[in-house]
């Protein structure tokens, strides 16, 4: 019997990724490859220009494709998907996604298989649904809130199944309507700017989480600013830099940064539940690279009257698994 799989590509601003999803005899989907290669960022730098990121993807793609080939040996690739844009809305565009588009088109053309197009954000949501167990719980069959927190995005959306949502879901499984966002910098930017200022390597989230776990003292307080669902995080950056200048304590500053971001996300969640929930609270899915941090999870989940779901760390940061899953689901006619 031929074993079927579907391949996905995602070329975000900081990671080149390719993934594969196998289809079992009973139609069950399983991720069998989740290959990633980070884009190089110079010491002391806080990001990449789009042109530099495109060049880095061009160098990385052959590497991740070779890694992918090792995982899918013995499988028949039946379809290819890619992220073509940041969000599933009109005029959503970033040049970096052209790299994945070209690779996916060439890959699908060489194999003679269908090609599918998705958004980066919906890929994050699908990867989180899969790895958190929410997909198995049937969350995709009802409306829920989803947060996408990364270096380039700090947003909360209302996700609804395509059958009950407004028209316009290009990805075919669900629509996502923007409800909350940052009014200035993104959560991931606040983390990385504080980390780089402390001499850490970009991206700084993982090292800062380790440092934060070492801090056993008090965490300074700061006013949490969320107005009509919009959060302000530039004040966090300034306060973190001031705290480090006065304390020179990387562990304390790291714990402070994650405490403020966690409380900000909680306040945004509370706003969503009060403003948009109808007869009962909506369940909440947290995705994106920032949510790979496990320190913030207790404050977002404990004692709530709704379910909270968190992507596993390897599916929180940028990855192509969600794109591969949506490719398989669309090709196989699954929901």
Q: What is the pLDDT of residues 10-67, one digit of tens each?
A: 999 889 999 999 999 888 999 999 999 999 988 777 778 999 999 999 999 999 999 9
Q: For strand 174-181 and strand 154-161, is the pairing parallel, antiparallel, or unpaired?
A: antiparallel
- Distance from C-alpha of 7 to C-alpha of 23, rounded to nearest angstrom: 12
| pTM for the predicted model, two decimal places | 0.91
CATH second-level architecture of 187-306? 2-Layer Sandwich (3.30)
Question: What would the pLDDT profile of 251-306 be if each residue is shown by its tens digit?
Answer: 999 999 999 999 999 999 999 999 999 789 999 999 999 999 999 999 999 999 99
Q: For strand 230-231 and strand 226-227, is the pairing parallel, antiparallel, or unpaired?
A: antiparallel
CATH superfamily of this structure's domain 3-137+315-332? ATPase, nucleotide binding domain (3.30.420.40)
Same fold, 3-137+315-332 and 187-306: yes
Q: Where are the domains of the chain?
A: 3-137+315-332, 187-306
SS3 218: coil
195 token code pair: 């980390």
User: Residue 21's beta-bridge partner residues?
Assistant: 6, 31
């Amino acid at each position: 019997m031929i074993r079927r799989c579907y391949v996905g590509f995602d070329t975000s601003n900081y990671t080149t990724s390719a993934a594969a999803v196998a289809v079992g005899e009973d139609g069950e989907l399983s991720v069998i490859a989740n290959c990633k290669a980070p884009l190089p960022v110079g010491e002391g730098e806080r990001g990449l220009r789009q042109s530099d990121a495109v060049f880095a993807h061009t160098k990385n793609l052959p590497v991740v494709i070779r890694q992918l080939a090792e995982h899918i040996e013995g499988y028949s690739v039946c379809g290819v998907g890619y992220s073509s844009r940041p969000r599933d809305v009109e005029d959503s565009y970033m040049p970096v996604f052209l790299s994945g588009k070209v690779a996916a088109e060439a890959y699908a053309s060489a194999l003679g298989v269908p090609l599918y197009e998705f958004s980066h954000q919906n890929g994050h949501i699908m990867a989180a649904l899969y790895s958190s167990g929410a997909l198995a719980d049937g969350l995709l069959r009802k409306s829920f809130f989803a947060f996408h927190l990364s270096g380039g995005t700090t947003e909360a959306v209302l996700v609804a199944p395509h059958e009950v949502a407004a028209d316009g879901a290009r990805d075919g499984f669900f629509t996502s309507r923007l409800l909350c966002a940052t009014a200035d910098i993104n959560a991931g930017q606040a983390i990385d700017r504080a980390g780089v200022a402390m001499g850490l390597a970009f991206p700084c989230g993982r090292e800062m989480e380790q440092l934060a776990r070492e801090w056993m003292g008090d965490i300074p307080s700061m006013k949490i600013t969320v107005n009509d669902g919009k959060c302000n995080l530039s004040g966090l950056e300034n306060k973190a830099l001031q705290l480090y200048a006065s304390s020179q304590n990387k562990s304390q500053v790291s714990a402070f940064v994650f405490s403020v971001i966690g409380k900000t996300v909680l306040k945004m969640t509370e706003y969503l539940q009060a403003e948009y929930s109808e007869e009962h609270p909506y369940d909440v899915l947290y995705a994106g690279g920032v949510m790979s941090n496990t320190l913030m999870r207790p404050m977002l989940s404990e004692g709530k009257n709704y379910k909270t779901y968190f992507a596993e760390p390897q599916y929180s940061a940028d990855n192509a698994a969600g794109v591969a899953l949506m490719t398989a689901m669309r090709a196989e006619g699954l929901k």
